[in-house]
Structure 1
Amino acid sequence: MAVVAVWKCDRDGAMFDNKKDAEEHDKMLELAANITSLIERHVDGISEEVGEEIGLLLAKRREVLAKACKGKPEMLLEEDEAPAQAAEEPSADDTVTPLAANQ
């Protein structure tokens, strides 16, 4: 029987085949949670679900958001380059290791 090392994200239970990807995912989820908290404190009447969606969106696009804040606001209007990047870099979903029971 082979032993397979996996890293589990504390926040959502996602599992990764390397520590770097697991830590990156966990940091993104922490940022999303903090953004959600900020939004819920300052925007009256926003639902928890919508706040979480906004938080995840901004956390996932943090690089583009940072560039926009540094003087390139038009970058926020550009289409998501995720499909083009997906071919070059594995996404978090590609690095999640499924666990099979009773193997």
Structure 2
Amino acid sequence: MAVVAVWKCDRDGKMFDDKKAAEAHDKMLELAANITQLIENSVEGISEAHSEAIGLLLAERSDQLAKACKGKPEVLLEGTEDQSANVTPLASNQ
């Protein structure tokens, strides 16, 4: 019988075959939790579910956010063309 090492993330219970991948996932979830807390502290009336969804989205795309902050904002929209039908432009809300 073979022994297979797996790593389990304490935050969400997800299992990984690779320790490095498990640690990266845990780090991303920690970032998401901190972003969520920042949003909840900064935006009055936002629901917990919405702030968690936003926190997770921003943490998952942290590399793209870093590039956008360094002068390439277009990278935030890469891969979102199919989702653009669900987004209401900001100008129409004014």
Q: Please give the range of the TM-score, normalised by the shorter of the 2 chains.
A: 0.7 to 0.9
Normalising by structure 1, report the TM-score.
0.74
Q: Unpaired runs of 5+ in structure 2? A: 81-94
More helix by share: 2
**How far off is 1:78 after superposition?**
2.5
Task: Give 1:1-103 correspondences, 5 Å limit.
Answer: 1-80=1-80
Q: Which runs of 5+ in 1 are unaligned?
A: 81-103
Matched residues in 2 for 1:70 and 1:64: separation?
A: 10
* Segment drifting more, 42-51 vs 69-78: 69-78
> Taking every aligned residue pair, what percent have the same amino acid on both sides?
76
Kindly report the root-mean-square deviation, in angstroms, between the aligned alpha carbons of the 2 structures: 1.0
Which consecutive segments of 4 or more residues in structure 1 shift more than 3 A?
Answer: none
Aligned residue pairs total: 80
Q: Highest relative contact order (Cα 8 Å, sep 6+), 1 or 2?
A: 1
